[in-house]
Amino acid sequence: MGKSIILGVGDFGATAETNGILKTYALGSCVAVMILDKKTRCVSMAHVALPESSISPSKAMSLPGYFADTAIPALFEAMKRATGGVLSPANDLIVKMCGGANVSDTNNTFNIGKRNALALKKTLWKYGLAPRADDTGGNFSRTVALYQATGIVEISSPGKENWKI
Partner 1 sequence: MSQDNYKKIEKQIDTIPPLSPVTSQLLAIISEPNHSLQDVVTVVETDAILTSIVLKTVNSAAYGLKDTVETAVDAIRFLGDSMVAGLAIKREKSGISDAPLTGYLADADASWAHSLKTAIAARYFAKRFSNGKVREGVAYTAGILHDIGKSLLSSLLPAESFQSINDSEFLELEEQLLGINHAEAGFMLAYKWSLPKAMCEVIRWHHEPSKAAEEFKTLAYIIHLADITAMMSGSGTGIDTMRHSIDSEYKKFITVDERGLELAFFEIQLEYNQTFKAIQACFDSSKSVKSEEVK
Active site amino acids? 30
Beta-ladder partners of 19: none
State the minimum distance, in angstroms, from the CB of residue 59 to partner 1: 7
Q: Which residue number, 30 or 146, has a Cβ lying nearer to partner 1?
A: 30
State the minimum distance, in angstroms, from the CB of residue 75 to partner 1: 19
Q: Using an 8 Å Cβ cutoff, are 47 and 30 in contact? A: yes
How many CB atoms lie under 10 A from the CB of residue 158? 9
Helix/strand/coil for 121: helix
The candidate with the shortest Cα–Cα distance to 98, out of 2, 39, 22, 37, is: 22
Residue from the set 138, 149, 151, 165 that interacts with partner 1 by CB under 8 A: 138
What part of residues 15-74 is at the interface with partner 1 (CB under 8 A)?
25-30, 47, 49-52, 55-56, 59, 66
Q: Using an 8 Å Cβ cutoff, are 23 and 43 in contact? A: no
Q: Using an 8 Å Cβ cutoff, are 17 and 1 in contact? A: no
State the minimum distance, in angstroms, from the CB of residue 30 to partner 1: 6
What part of residues 74-113 is at the interface with partner 1 (CB under 8 A)?
101-107, 109-110, 112-113
Q: Which residue number, 102 or 148, has a Cβ lying nearer to partner 1?
A: 102
Residue from the set 84, 85, 89, 158 that interacts with partner 1 by CB under 8 A: 158
CA distances (Å), origin 10, targets 17, 24, 65, 66:
22, 10, 5, 4
C-alpha torsion 55→117→26→149, nearest 10: -120
> Stretches 37-45, 81-89, 126-134, 139-147: which one binds partner 1 (CB under 8 A)?
139-147
Q: Enumerate binding residues for partner 1 (CB under 8 A).
A: 8-10, 25-30, 47, 49-52, 55-56, 59, 66, 101-107, 109-110, 112-113, 138-141, 158-161
